[in-house]
Amino acid sequence: QSALTQPASVSGSPGQSITISCTGTSSDVGSYNLVSWYQQHPGKAPKVMIYEVSKRPSGVSNRFSGSKSGNTASLTISGLQAEDEADYYCCSYVRGDALVFGGGTKLTVL
């Protein structure tokens, strides 16, 4: 299976909103509502921010939201804050009981 496609980098100013896309295929993103998003700060373990496309775990800010259209999932962060600067990875279930991650997107808060 091939990695999901994410932009290498995105940036935004504090208070703005940004969206990170995650493009897969009909064998993964397009066929299952099992997309999750992870935030990773340098030297730290990833932390789940969104699961099942649009659900937020307890404790995650409602500034983070997820959606999906066709083979592309998206993570939107509104009201950007300095602490949001990190790497973000999408992940999807793949037909046949497997998982695939995206290549990762580096978010810079200007």
Partner 1 sequence: QVQLQESGPGLVKPSETLSLTCAVSGYSISSDSWWGWIRQPPGKGLEWIGSIYHSGNTHYNPSLQSRVSMSTDTSKNQFSLKLSSVTAADTAVYYCARQTISAWWFDPWGQGTLVTVSS
User: Where does this chain bind partner 1 (CB under 8 A)?
Assistant: 1, 3, 34, 36, 38, 45-48, 51-52, 57, 89, 91, 93, 96-104
Say if CB 53 and CB 33 are below 8 A apart.
yes
Q: Which one, 18 or 100, has the nearer CB to partner 1?
A: 100
Q: How far is the CB of 39 from partner 1 (least distance, A)?
A: 11
Q: Which helix (H) or strand (E) holds 47?
A: strand 47-50
Q: Which one, 15 or 103, has the nearer CB to partner 1?
A: 103
Q: How far is the CB of 13 from partner 1 (least distance, A)?
A: 26
Q: Which one, 80 or 89, has the nearer CB to partner 1?
A: 89
Say if CB 80 and CB 13 are below 8 A apart.
yes
Q: Which of 67, 94, 91, 84 is nearest to 15 (CA)?
A: 84
71: left (phi over 0), alpha (psi -120 to 50) or beta: alpha
Say if CB 39 and CB 86 are below 8 A apart.
yes
Q: How far is the CB of 15 from partner 1 (least distance, A)?
A: 29
Q: How far is the CB of 67 from partner 1 (least distance, A)?
A: 16
Q: Which one, 64 or 89, has the nearer CB to partner 1?
A: 89
